[in-house]
Chains A and B, each alone.
Chain A
Amino acid sequence: MNKVTQIEGKAVPVEGNDIDTDRIIPARYLKEITFTNMGNYPFYDERFDAEGKPKGHPFDLPQFQGAHLLFVNQNFGCGSSREHAPQSLMRWGVRAIIGESFAEIFAGNCTMLGIPTATVNHGEMMKLQTLVKEKPETKFMLDLEKKTLLSEGKEYLKFDIHESKRNALVNGTWDSTGLLLGNAGKTAEVAKKLPYVAGF
């Protein structure tokens, strides 16, 4: 499993609190039985009008093409547990998300895909979003080991990230199946002791 320690790239801002996973990916795209095409759909209804013409969402602006970092505000990813949401962001190109706060299921889903969800305070996020709007070409580097965001090679700010999520990413254990399978014997023991599994 790959270690995720440093993520470099330009950033794209998506502003607003409580952006739910229905807005990140409308339910009609959940009908596909693979994640393959999800990269075509993030924020679809906010990006395109009825004729499919772009409405000027940051994901379509030329200056943000190729961005790997996503800057968001509070409670990003609330609502449905659909993993299609982080899948669609990842397949569009997002490798890391920095926000003021994240909904829990969404943040967990991101970690399972190797995408860090880092948090900063409101003032810092305003600064970051303003910076990328004014200078979209800014190169950032998110350093998970130092919990630092660099801009143009210089330390810009410190961020927070849930410690177990950070550990999983930097140690390359974010894809948990292997870890969990390793404890199959212990799992069976725990199961045996549970009255309802044993049939009371």
Chain B
Amino acid sequence: MSKGTLYNKVWDSHVVDKLPTGQYQLFIGLHLIHEVTSPQAFDMIAEKGLKVAYPNRTFATVDHIVPTKSQARPFQDNEAELMMGAIEKNVKKFGVPFYDFNSGNQGIVHIIGPEMGLTQPGMTIACGDSHTSTHGAFGTLAFGIGTTQVRDVLATQCLAMDALKVRRINVNGKLKPGVTAKDVTLYIIQKLGVKGGIGYAYEYGGSVFDAMTMEERMTVCNMAIEGGARVGYVNPDQTTFDYLKGRKYSPTADKWDKAVAYWKSVASDKDAVFDDVVNFDAADIEPIVTWGITPDQSVGVNDKLPEVSRFSADEVKTVELAYKHMDLKPGQSIKGTPINVAFIGSCTNGRISDLREAAKVAKGRKVSKSVRAFVVPGSQQVKAQAEKEGLDKIFTEAGFEWRQAGCSMCLAMNPDKLQGREISASSSNRNFIGRQGSKDGRTMLMSPAMVAAAAIEGRVADVRELMKNL
């Protein structure tokens, strides 16, 4: 059993009671909601005649279904309009703060929480979305939950939860040039598998994480869930505090020192005990591309695709399905695979630093004629900042479309979709069959800089070769 970890400390301070089922009742410090997984939850509490117990600890936005071209109302898609109407009605009725288009703070729920300083170390956070693990970058325990659990948080500000084990994942050494946080998280998933984290919270540490910016840490924690770990976190440090200073909901100057003292106190102790420890060497990590239908089916950009015989007997079915769906073959290079669509965005890689990295590659170049490429900022704030820096111009001059904030083609609940058998280079987090809006569509996950490189070359490319000419 783990001891003295951030996980243990935050868990213990939020336990309300042990329930007769053996689960624990956990107080949730911050609840984030969006339009897709909340309407049924609001209906359920209304049906029971309940109120939102702590309305000022829940914050709402819209991201999943919003169109990224024209956001004029009513939306052209009737169902999306209905869904939008439902959240507007519910936040009003239950008194929940709502960051909509007019707020200037709308965006993907996992981008706006940190951006506004809502996400703070030592909190428990819940959201009806599996990538809630993103907020762990600040040293929080952040859980993705289902709609019935959203109902519980609305009604009681609590969840019934089982405790997790804690695995410390160390990545030490120095990342090679051109290797990003996205590659680190894809590498960890490749090594530990998509089921490796079931039952665990992942604590990420080591010199690579110490050196990362908050945005990079968010990219890694975002994909903890893709490795099966519902929770992933990094201990808070000076980088965390510097990021939080001066944000909309951050503690004010007179409270700052007290807040920082508390935040420091929740970090794992030097002699913390973990249920498991795994070590990786930063020097082994290359820019990574997925070739299959689960996020652990990936290779370094210069590697050949693995032979089916390399997999264990019970994995063969999935691997064969992956090759068939992707129309790729063992032994072939991933580099050079032609693409039809390039997507830069999502809660994994839709932050300002991601756009800067991609713009560096796009600058002064042209998107290949055979590629439909677009950039979707993760939030209105990211969009505004990018425009201030002229990144939108760099992208549009290169032939990328520049869109409004939202989830977009990460899950294609809006009009941004793959068509037929199209194959995309995508900075998002899931390469599942059908994920990007066409049931036959194909997805290769990679870093935003690698997506930009693929857009320009028209095929999967090693971004480092383009960087040489910078």
CA distance A82 to B433 in the complex (A): 16
CA distance A171 to B21 in the complex (A): 8
Q: Evaluate contact between A16 and B255: CB separation under 8 angstroms.
A: no
With A20-B432, A74-B314, A186-B16 known as contacts, the answer to whether A108 contacts B54 (CB < 8 A) is no
List 9 additional A-B contacts (Cβ < 8 Å) besides A83-B40, A104-B198, A183-B16.
A17-B317, A101-B198, A109-B146, A109-B147, A167-B22, A171-B20, A191-B157, A197-B57, A199-B251
CA distance A23 to B258 in the complex (A): 47
Q: Does B470 contact A (CB under 8 A)?
A: no
Q: Does B208 contact A (CB under 8 A)?
A: no
Q: Evaluate contact between B14 and A18: CB separation under 8 angstroms.
A: no
Cβ of A76 to closest chain B Cβ, rounded Å: 10
Q: Evaluate contact between B314 and A17: CB separation under 8 angstroms.
A: yes
Q: Which residues of the other chain, B, contact A104 by a CB distance below 8 angstroms?
A: 198-199, 228, 230
With A34-B40, A179-B160, A191-B157 known as contacts, the answer to whether A105 contacts B251 (CB < 8 A) is no
The 8 closest A-B CB pairs, nearest first, are A109-B146, A83-B146, A164-B22, A45-B439, A31-B79, A112-B148, A83-B147, A180-B156
CA distance A168 to B159 in the complex (A): 14
Per-residue 0/1 for A126-164: is the Cβ within 8 Å of any B Cβ (1 yes, 0 no)? Answer: 000000000000000000000000000000000000111
Q: Evaluate contact between B39 and A81: CB separation under 8 angstroms.
A: no
With A180-B155, A196-B123, A196-B262 known as contacts, the answer to whether A103 contacts B20 (CB < 8 A) is no
Selecting from B23-31, B108-116, B356-364, B394-402, the interface stretch reads B23-31
Per-residue 0/1 for A9-21: is the Cβ within 8 Å of any B Cβ (1 yes, 0 no)? Answer: 0000001111010
Interface size class of A (residues with CB under 8 A): 35 or more
Q: Which residues of the other chain, A, contact B162 by a CB distance below 8 angstroms?
A: 162, 164
Per-residue 0/1 for B145-166: is the Cβ within 8 Å of any A Cβ (1 yes, 0 no)? Answer: 1111101100111111010000
Q: Evaluate contact between A168 and B145: CB separation under 8 angstroms.
A: no
Q: Evaluate contact between B17 and A177: CB separation under 8 angstroms.
A: no
Q: Evaluate contact between B157 and A187: CB separation under 8 angstroms.
A: yes
Q: Which residues of the other chain, B, contact A179 by a CB distance below 8 angstroms?
A: 19-21, 25, 160
Q: Evaluate contact between B321 and A16: CB separation under 8 angstroms.
A: yes
Cβ of A60 to closest chain B Cβ, rounded Å: 16
Which of A18, A33, A80, A82 has a CB less than 8 Å from the CB of B86?
A: A33
User: B50, B57, B79, B123 — which one has the most chain A CB atoms within 10 A of its CB?
Assistant: B79
Q: Does B308 contact A (CB under 8 A)?
A: no
CA distance A122 to B92 in the complex (A): 50
Q: Which residues of the other chain, A, contact B22 by a CB distance below 8 angstroms?
A: 163-164, 167
Q: Does B48 contact A (CB under 8 A)?
A: yes
Q: Evaluate contact between A34 and B16: CB separation under 8 angstroms.
A: no
Measured CB to CB, the nearest residue on chain B to A36 is B40
Q: Which residues of B contact A (CB under 8 A)?
A: 13-17, 19-23, 25, 27, 29, 36-37, 39-40, 43, 48, 50, 53-54, 57, 64-65, 77, 79-80, 82-83, 86, 120, 122-123, 128-130, 132, 144-149, 151-152, 155-160, 162, 194-195, 198-199, 225, 228, 230, 251, 255, 258-259, 262, 293-294, 314-315, 317-318, 321, 411-413, 430, 432-435, 437, 439
CA distance A99 to B193 in the complex (A): 18
Q: Which residues of A contact B (CB under 8 A)?
A: 15-18, 20, 22-23, 26-28, 30-35, 45, 73-75, 78-84, 86, 101, 103-105, 108-109, 112-113, 122, 162-165, 167-168, 171, 173, 175-177, 179-181, 183-184, 186-187, 190-191, 193-197, 199-200
Which of B15, B83, B317, B433 has a CB less than 8 Å from the CB of A33?
A: B83
Which of B65, B130, B151 has a CB less than 8 Å from the CB of A80?
A: B130
User: A27, A86, A171 — which one has the most chain B CB atoms within 10 A of its CB?
Assistant: A27
Cβ of B277 to closest chain A Cβ, rounded Å: 21
CA distance A194 to B265 in the complex (A): 13
Q: Which residues of the other chain, A, contact B147 by a CB distance below 8 angstroms?
A: 82-84, 109
Q: Evaluate contact between A112 and B434: CB separation under 8 angstroms.
A: no
Q: Evaluate contact between A177 and B48: CB separation under 8 angstroms.
A: yes
Q: Evaluate contact between B152 and A35: CB separation under 8 angstroms.
A: no
Q: Evaluate contact between A199 and B255: CB separation under 8 angstroms.
A: yes
CA distance A164 to B22 in the complex (A): 5
CA distance A181 to B315 in the complex (A): 44
Q: Which residues of the other chain, B, contact A103 by a CB distance below 8 angstroms?
A: 198, 228
User: A26, A163, A167 — which one has the most chain B CB atoms within 10 A of its CB?
Assistant: A26
CA distance A90 to B407 in the complex (A): 28
CA distance A111 to B16 in the complex (A): 21
